[in-house]
Homo-oligomer: A and B are copies of this chain.
Amino acid sequence: MTLTETLSRIVGEANVLTGSDTARFDEDWMGKYHGAPVCVVRPGTTAEVSAVLRATYAAGIPVVPVGGNTGLTGAAIAPGQVQLSLERMNRIRAIQPEARIAVVEAGVVLSRLHEAVDAHGLVFPLTFGARGSAMIGGNLSTNAGGSNVLRYGNTRALTLGLEVVLPDGEVMDLMSELHKDNSGYDLKDLFIGAEGTLGVITAAVLKLSPKPRAFATAMVTLDRLDPALTLLNRLQEATGSAVEAFEYMPDHFMRRLVEVRPDLAPPLGTEAPVTIFLEVAATAPRDVTPNEAGEVPLTALLEQTLGGMAEEGLILDAAMARSEDQRRRMWAMREAAAEITRGLKPQVDNDICVPLDRVVEFLTRAAARLAEVDPSARPFVVGHLGDGNMHYTVLLDSDDPVAQDAIREAVEDVTRALGGSFSAEHGIGQAKLPSMTRRKDPVALAVMRRIKVALDPKGLMNPGKVLPSE
């Protein structure tokens, strides 16, 4: 029996895609990584995932799990390999509003979960531009971040329990709904962020939060980035740490934005050196009940803080969203980042994180370093400033891989010198393998390899990703 036949017996013929039917799995959405799989198998249940892996394990065949295929590091691309798509495992098994948890399968699209919990007055706070395609399994496997990490933490912080199918098909039940559970090693967090190299995540117990009663949302312009940290700190202090988004968009980003998306007219134009997009949210009634003057306390706090900053000459201008429509348009400007970056080629993308108070220094030093390495290099930047996380894309004239890696290495040098990480939220995949070799603590890398061998002795789970070859 051929492999395709074996897999068809498990999941049904219609759920083993081959030839041109795999087209949507052949390339990542940024168009950077290519390679058609030999087949895509689409199990519909945990039991089917288990049976598929039992079969591939017995046959010694590598497997590459894939969710919504919105990753940015080529982690789910599988040239000539078997791809295991979780898209049919798309059930929201339960939403328990009292306990504030959702039990979901790996193939649930993030925005569908958003809608489902909204009906209960709750939020699953993880959010980013690709939420309409990205799946929970991929979010978990990359420990996805996004724009609300500042307030709510990354995917790991939002996860209570996990169901994982191991390389040999065994199902591991870590589906705890508890906030305290010290019953042995923290296996959950080992599989979160492992990018499918240790097993396949099939379901999770996720934490929900109360839906904010009101938002105060603004775009702010500055003539330089330095005072932005003061703005963030004042807002956090005034609101008791209620800042949900604090995003950096420099002038080159804004100009590209209106070029690609003329429908999104920035309220303060595109010429200020720095635009900050920010949002504060209130869950307590006292923050949203209008006072005698008819002001909503949350909005008033933001206006006062911005007014003070303007008086001191620390910001140029500010525009508050006065309607939900205006708020959504501001979000759309930030979330257009991937869309407007995609067409800029050649490019080298970097997803770095430095301590919050080192961001300005990072930008200054990286720009200087790039000029030395390649006079054609121009940074194209957008960032989760509140986390110290910069998506630092470098545009250059050459698409020579050696020249590109020299750029990457230069950015890594500056990041490392400032105590930062070469990978903040996008993960490693294929893209950051050279960075792992160069930058990861060698003892930690060796420990990772030992864990990989212990849990995937045949090396079948997403081979060639995350761990550089020795």
Contacts and interface: CB of A to CB of B under 8 A. Distances in A.
Contacts of A171: 443
A284 interface: yes
A422 B176 CA distance: 12
Contacts of A166: 443, 447
Interface stretch (A215-223, A233-241, A314-322, A372-380): A233-241
Nearest to A301: B286
A69 interface: no
Contact of A443 (B173, B176, B283): B173
A184 interface: yes
Given A179-B387, A183-B423, A355 B193 contact: no
Contact of A182 (B177, B180, B237, B426): B426
A441 B162 CA distance: 12
B240 A284 contact: yes
Contact of A184 (B185, B301, B387, B448): B448
A427 interface: yes
A450 B452 CA distance: 10
A352 B238 CA distance: 38
A30 B156 CA distance: 35
A267 B422 CA distance: 55
B238 A172 contact: no
A240 B212 CA distance: 9
Interface in A280-322: 282-287, 297, 301
A419 interface: yes
A384 B178 CA distance: 13
From A185, A301, A435, name the one whose CB has the most chain B CB atoms within 10 angstroms. Answer: A185
A190 B193 contact: no
A360 interface: no
B444 A184 contact: yes
A420 interface: yes
26 contacts: A98-B357, A99-B356, A172-B441, A172-B443, A172-B444, A173-B441, A176-B421, A178-B355, A178-B419, A178-B420, A180-B353, A182-B423, A182-B424, A183-B439, A184-B428, A184-B444, A184-B448, A185-B448, A186-B189, A186-B190, A186-B193, A190-B190, A210-B237, A237-B284, A447-B455, A451-B454
The 7 closest A-B pairs by CB, nearest first: A240-B284, A454-B454, A189-B189, A180-B424, A450-B454, A172-B443, A181-B421
Interface of A: 98-99, 142-143, 145, 149, 154, 156-157, 166, 170-174, 176-187, 189-190, 192-194, 198, 210, 237-242, 282-287, 297, 301, 353-357, 384, 387-389, 419-428, 432, 435-436, 439-441, 443-448, 450-451, 453-455, 466-467
